[in-house]
Amino acid sequence: MNYRWTNVHIPDLSGKVAVVTGANSGIGFETAKELARNKAIVIMACRNKEKAEASLNNLRSEIPNIRAEVLSLDLSRLESIRNFAALFQEKYNRLDILINNAGIMKISYEQTAEGVEKHFGVNHLGHFALTGLLLNSLLATPGSRVITISSLSHWFGNINFRALKHDAGKRLFPLMAYGRSKLANILFANELQRRLEINGSKTISVAAHPGITVTNLTGHFGNQLYDLLVSPILIRIGQNTAKGALPGLRAATDPDITGGKYIGPTGIWGIKGYPAAVQSSGKSQSSKTAKLLWEISEELTGVHYL
């Protein structure tokens, strides 16, 4: 499995339907582009319709005749997630690939519409709810996949369930809050895979991470000091979005990938390089934590599944 996998290895995706969250920029945009280039019908699930339509126009000018459209999705509002899922299911009767890609990494403390710490709310809970609400479409589609984009930052993430319930993580240093949400992404992907297997489903769940990739996320922390000091380092050592999208694309399209894997760059420290199965932290493999996270996620979103 560890050969030099690139976008040329993506198979023909004719007839397949893919949803990519946060597809208007960075890794999501590149992912949508490669899926559409290989003939999938791509739904760009984005919070800012104007920005997303502009990105779709860019995509169309680069690759004419693609099949893609924008549907509104704000992962920080449960109502928006429900509306997206309902509209998607009205329009499409299958879902082959769901890429849970959208994400935030901020320095300030913010909350979702439901009052949850925003990194946890958008990066994890929003995708938990979205996947649950789209599950019928996934289960009805042979060979479907759910890909959840995590991060190297999951290594310093920690989930304190009491703090999560009582103060929504207010006292958490924001980058730790980001790490917590990215740890939740892998725990979620693994628990989803376990539950799919128990249910005898052929749908698979795979986690991936893009190493360090130069995008808006690495350039705009929303804090002058970080933008001045940290961003230039990330820009220097990071890879471009075409390479950063490869782990998620391999997870989504390589027939050799099996459920429960974690796909990331194989270069030094996992920062860059060709994508293949890599190791995630011990914490991310705890089935006990994953089960607890699943239960609290159901409670916080009101979305119950599997």
Ligand X SMILES: NC(=O)c1ccc[n+]([C@@H]2O[C@H](COP(=O)([O-])OP(=O)(O)OC[C@H]3O[C@@H](n4cnc5c(N)ncnc54)[C@H](OP(=O)(O)O)[C@@H]3O)[C@@H](O)[C@H]2O)c1
Compose the 234-273 pattern: x for residues touching ligand X by CB under 6 A, - for all others: ----x-----------------------------------
Q: Which stretch binds ligand X (CB under 6 A): 3-11, 12-20, 68-76, 189-197?
A: 68-76
Q: How far is the CB of 132 from ligand X (least distance, A)?
A: 16
122 binds ligand X (CB under 6 A): yes
Q: Which is nearer to ligand X, 32 or 141 (CB)?
A: 32
Choice between 228 and 235, CB closer to ligand X: 235
231 Cβ partners below 8 Å, 6+ apart?
Answer: 218, 219, 220, 221
Binding positions for ligand X, 147-176, rule CB under 6 A: 149, 151
276 binds ligand X (CB under 6 A): no
Under rule CB under 6 A, residue 25 binds ligand X: yes
- Give the residue carrying structure tokens 């979702």: 112
Select the residue interacting with ligand X from 41, 56, 66, 74 (CB under 6 A): 74
Q: How many residues does the chain have?
A: 306
Tell me the window of 22-30, 35-43, 200-208, 262-270 that interacts with ligand X (CB under 6 A). Answer: 22-30
The residues, ordered by sequence, that sit 6+ positions from 5 with a Cβ below 8 Å of its Cβ are 246, 250, 254, 274, 275, 276
Whether 176 and 156 have beta carbons less than 8 Å apart is answered as yes
From 23-31, 33-41, 191-199, 200-208, span contacting ligand X (CB under 6 A):
23-31
The phi-psi region of residue 260 (left if phi > 0; otherwise alpha if psi is between -120 and 50; otherwise beta) is: left
DSSP H helices, the chain, are 26-37, 49-62, 78-91, 118, 127-139, 161-166, 174-198, 216-219, 224-237, 241-244, 246-253, 287-301
Size of the site for ligand X (CB under 6 A): 31
Q: Is 3 a catalytic residue?
A: no
Name residue, tokens 């690495």. 218
What type of residue is 230? V
Q: Mind telling me the catalytic residues?
A: 178
